[in-house]
Structure 1
Amino acid sequence: MASIEALAQRCNTFFHIKQLQAHLLTSGHFQFSTSRSRLMELCAISPAGDLSFAHLVFRQIHHPSTNDWNAILRGLAVSPHPYDAVSWYRTMLRRSRRVDALTSSFTLKACARFLGFSEATQMHSQIVRWGFAGDALLGTTLLDVYAKVGDIGSAKKVFDDMSVRDIASWNALISGFAQGCNASEALELFKRMESEGFSPNEVTVLGALAACSHMGAFKEGEKIYEYITDKKLDLNVIVCNAVIDMYCKCGLVGKACRVFDSMSCGKSLVTWNTMVMGFAMHGDGDKALQLFEQMGLNGVHPDAISYLAALCACNHAGLVDHGVRLFNSMASHGVKPNMKHYGSVVDLLGRAGRLKEAYDIITSMPMMPDVVLWQSLLFSCQIYANIELAETAMRKLVEMGSNNCGDFVLLSNVYAAHERWNDVRRVRDAMKKRDVRKVPGFSYIEVEGVIHKFFTGDKSHDNWREIYGKLDEIRFKIKELGYVAETNFVLHDIGEEEKENVLCYHSEKLAVAFGLISTREGTPMQVFKNLRICGDCHIVFKLVSKIYSREILVRDRVRFHRFKEGSCSCRDYW
């Protein structure tokens, strides 16, 4: 008789699986644990299988073995309801069924899928108690769970305690670092991995590229890309997509475009979407929309993400009418607008001053608007100092339970723009009452491989005196060109001179000043900011780029600004 494995490989349909079950029953092989466990596993995880049928087979077994339980457990772990795997595992324990390393591995994989932190920690203690902690595969699965739930400290401890590590262990921790707020640690681990004799594979470089994207570490990203081309990993389209994304997010959209044009592995829909979004982030709306149109000519049907990228391009370039037409055409091309599309067009109209149209779209949507849409409208109300609509948006946000500090700050800014200081104080009192805390703005710049981070008014840097001296020099030089501080961006009830001093020491200005004193003349600089760039800083950087003959690239929370020869790539629209 053919082996169970050979028979299982021929099961391409559910009918074949049922025939295999009948064969095992009639031939007497069903009584052998390995045969029936393979059958149930086939039912549980095969595309041709049926998990409910696997349960039916399981119930026919009088004394199921650990392998039988594991077969169902494995299917539940990859099912649409991974939490059911934990319930099944607990049932095993209640019935005093012996568990093994595979039982623990399948359950942990389920925990990773539904981000079950408490369940994973319980599993960890049981793994130690049962003596499975030395299992390398299980250790990798455990650290992967910790990384995915955001407990990087525990993931690192598991990694450090492993007596034997394989490539998967390194990949899991690098990806965990990259996905969290530990991008620099991901790159350090990537370097350490190579020094310990492990050769990074496709999964490794994806994690490392994600870290570079997060940090804007283009020099490290270029080294990784050199490794990718040297090892022929660029034959993988997913890797190429990550390289394009890295270059775009590091401000090197030209290099991203060259990778896009030179791909020999073919382009996926994700490739096109990534490149369109890259142009959009850099405010190059014309190129983004040309590429969007080119997708159709190349037989690639745009999806919801493609349209979102194109709408973002219109948004960042101020192409209002084009964006509205694009939004209205989506349904006719078989793409149903979702919340993000509505949010993009609301932001597009609002920032163009068409607040009434933006409000009408929100109130006429076929779905309940989310918090982000009202926040977009509130932001636009701040730009145009529209108190009535700002109060309406804020009421909606409060009704929806939003406790975001930015909402209160935006409303406060609208009142401050009209010098309604009593209302400003009322909003701030409400923030204190609700324990709403403002997110501090910070900026950072990389110089010779070292990240330097600054907060507004920061004096913690070793070179703060030189930095402040450079800012005084900048202020003197730009005033000679007619600069007048945009004190309306300081929304406090204080004197004009105090407002000017507050503006002078914004975090992004500190970063640029440090860049000027720390790099050679004519060298381009990159600054990264966690919030939107301040309007006054935007004006100052245009002047600095002209006076010092420097190209300054600023990536804020929304997009890129490239300052060169006294102008910005955003054309003063953002």
Structure 2
Amino acid sequence: MNGLYRRTWQALTFRSQPFFSERRSGKYHRDSYDFMKLLGHCRTIRSVQELHAQILVEGLDQNGFLATKLIGKYVELGEGESKMGTARKVFDRLLQRDVFLWNVVIQGYASFGPFVEALNLFDEMRVSGEPTNRYTFPFVLKACGALKNSDKGEIVHGYVVKCGLDLDLFVGNALISCYSKCQDVETARKVFDDMSLRDTVSWNSMIVGYTLNEREDDAIMFFHAMLHNQADCLPDDATLVAILPACATKSASQVGFWVHSYIIKTGMEVGASLGSCLISMYGNCGHINIARDVFNRIDNKNVIVWSAIIRCYGMHGLADEALNMFRRLEEVGVKPDGLIFLNLLSACSHAGLVAKGREIYKKMEAYGLERNDKHYACMVDLLARAGFLEQAAEFIEAMPVQAGKDVYGALFGACRIHNNLELAKEVGEKLFILDPENAGRYMILASMYEDAGQWEDAAKVRKLLRDRNIKKPAGCSSIEVDRIHHVFGKKDETHPFTEEIFDTIEKLERLMEEDFEPI
């Protein structure tokens, strides 16, 4: 016996004495059907190990059905390395494996990691000559998406086409999700357009893909297309959870209102996931009272819901309300996470509550939470925004990790507010290395030099900007009309109704000239 089976045998020695005594006397015998039923009732990893030992004793370890059930249970109940490690050992000892067994192990790796093992096992499966099926590829594509491995995703896509499964609904949905996570949303859209059959998951996957790739306007437009063109594919809760973040980012209140109305009309339950999305959307659109009403109506409030309402108050300068919500969170026994503390620190920073911000920052230790670069950046912003620039610089020096662009960026912005050119020069040099493509950093420093009358230094910074060919992102305006978000820039003629828009502007100008009466 190897180490795995020796430990499994030892786990059984005490609890299973009656079974072994009966077996030696020939009074008792279990077959694969019995073990399948017993495994179905297992709720702990220890019970699975004990039954595994009995399966070995009975000589049923090569039974494919039992092996599949064992692997599934180890994946379901295991922790850490035992989740996939033991399951893989059971798989490796099998002399004969069918496609279902391969799929179960690949699915385990694709769901719990290491994701690269799912791809390695898929390659091993192909080399062994075992044929794949429509269930194999969604698991493999899921692993490709998790790794953001677009090259491997394209190779797997080739195998899909070769196997004639490119028109399969489930495989198609997996391809959309994979390409979206690999930041290739154009190919994901092409897969969607080529599908002969689509379901709600297909539409949801594309909406999520656009949102993940910061194309919220496309996500909203696609949502409208789903409503207008697909009577058989009505939105479900997953659709709404996918579209609400896009509404929140673009402050598309009309679409958000429609989504909320749809939820009420259909009687859909507003749980933690959907509720937190609604709170974030209303918060971004400035409807704080409605966000609070949604919060109050959620029965089982988890840490994500509390974080959403705290952020809602904080982003609108209502730091006292955000802190009150945090106190309520502690009173009901919900353990806060790092995101909640980040939202609280941001609220304190914008409200100038330096002492309270320090207290919140220290409280993270009491909850055993690890601080990251964003927490440090918030603390620097808190101190520097309030005018304590030297303390902010000392805080950076005392940080246990190397400060990143967010930390120095917070200090740099405060230097502009308080017109501290000397410190801005020092911090700017670091940012030009840490964040060399950010044109705004160069423009701020150049403006500070100009305000101080140091024209040569300002010219050097602007020349550096040109030499590095760094372009400032073009600004744009946006407006929401009939639940559709329109974005346009200066002298923008790309809108399909450009002529009508300019005609209307000219008519308005003429009306204004006619109505204007000089004094």
TM-score range, shorter chain: 0.7 to 0.9
Residue pairs, 1:224-303, within 5 angstroms: 224-263=259-298, 265-303=299-337
- Aligned twin of 1:443: 477
Work out the CA distance in 2 between the residues paired with 1:13 and 1:82: 25
Q: Of 69, 81, 87, which residue of structure 2 is paired with 1:38?
A: 69
* 1:467 Cα deviation from its structure 2 partner: 5.9
The gaps in structure 2 that reach 5 residues or longer are 1-30
Q: How does 1:40-189 map to 2 (within 5 A)?
A: 40-47=71-78, 50-189=83-222
CA distance in 1, matches of 2:360, 2:98: 59
**Are the aligned partners of 2:207 and 2:219 in contact in 1 as well (CA < 8 Å)?**
yes
State the one-letter code of the partner of 2:129. Answer: S
Partner of 2:39: 8
Work out which of the residue numbers 328, 344, 359 in structure 1 matches 2:378. 344
Residue 212 (structure 1) aligned to one of 247, 251, 261: 247
Q: Secondary structure at the match of 2:477?
A: strand
Change (3 A) 1:69 1:297: closer
Normalising by structure 2, we get a TM-score of 0.83
The Cα shift of 1:314 comes to 1.5
- 1:327 — aligned with what? 361
Opposite residue 240 of structure 1, the aligned amino acid is: G
Percent of paired sites with the same residue? 29
Preserved CA contact (<8 Å) 2:207 2:243: yes
Q: Which has the higher helix share?
A: 2
1:395-406 alignment, distance < 5 Å = 395-400=429-434, 402-406=436-440
Q: In the alignment, residue 306 of structure 1 is paired with which amino acid?
A: I
TM-fit CA distance, 1:465? 8.4
Paired with 1:136 and 1:8, the residues of 2 have a C-alpha distance of 33
Larger deviation, residues 46-55 vs 223-232: 46-55
After the TM superposition, which of the residue ranges 22-31 and 287-296 deviates more from structure 2? 22-31
The equivalent residue for 1:511 is none
Match of 1:433 among 448, 467, 480: 467
Q: Distance in 2 between matches of 1:125 and 1:296?
A: 53
State the alpha-carbon separation in 2 of the partners of residues 330 and 57 from structure 1.
Answer: 43
SS in 2 for 1:444: strand
Question: Which of 382, 385, 389 in structure 1 is aligned with 2:416?
Answer: 382
C-alpha distance 467-374 of structure 1, shift in aligned 2 (>3 A): farther
Q: Distance in 1 between matches of 2:142 and 2:191?
A: 16
Once residues 296 and 44 of structure 1 are traced to their aligned partners in structure 2, the CA distance between those partners, rounded to angstroms, is 34
Measure how far apart 1:464 and its partner are.
5.4
Change (3 A) 1:72 1:214: same
Is contact 2:217–2:485 with CA below 8 Å preserved after alignment?
Answer: no
Structure 1 residue 458: Cα displacement:
6.0
Is 1:318–2:356 an aligned residue pair? no
Q: Which amino acid aligns with 2:157?
A: H
Look up the SS of the partner of 1:451 in the other structure. strand
1:397, 1:449 → 2: CA distance? 40
C-alpha contact (below 8 Å) 1:283/1:313 kept by paired residues: yes
Aligned length: 475
142-151 vs 51-60, which moves further? 51-60
What code does the residue aligned with 1:354 have? F
Match of 2:3 in 1: none
Cα shift at 1:25: 4.2
Answer yes or no: is the 8 Å Cα contact 1:144–1:155 preserved in 2.
Answer: yes
Distance in 2 (alpha carbons) for counterparts of 1:326 and 1:58: 49
Q: CA deviation at 1:107?
A: 0.8
SS in 1 for 2:487: strand
- Identify if the C-alpha distance between structure 1 residues 190 and 464 changes in structure 2 by more than 3 Å, giving closer, same or farther: closer
**Which structure is richer in relative contact order (CA contacts within 8 A, separation 6 or more)?**
1
TM-score of the two chains, using structure 1 as the length reference: 0.76
The answer to whether 1:357 aligns with 2:388 is no
RMSD: 2.9
Letter of the 1:113 counterpart: A
Q: Say which is worse superposed, 425-434 or 10-19, in terms of deviation.
A: 10-19
- Residues 371 and 402 in structure 1, CA contact (< 8 A), matched pair in contact too: no
Q: Displacement of 1:399 after TM fit?
A: 4.2
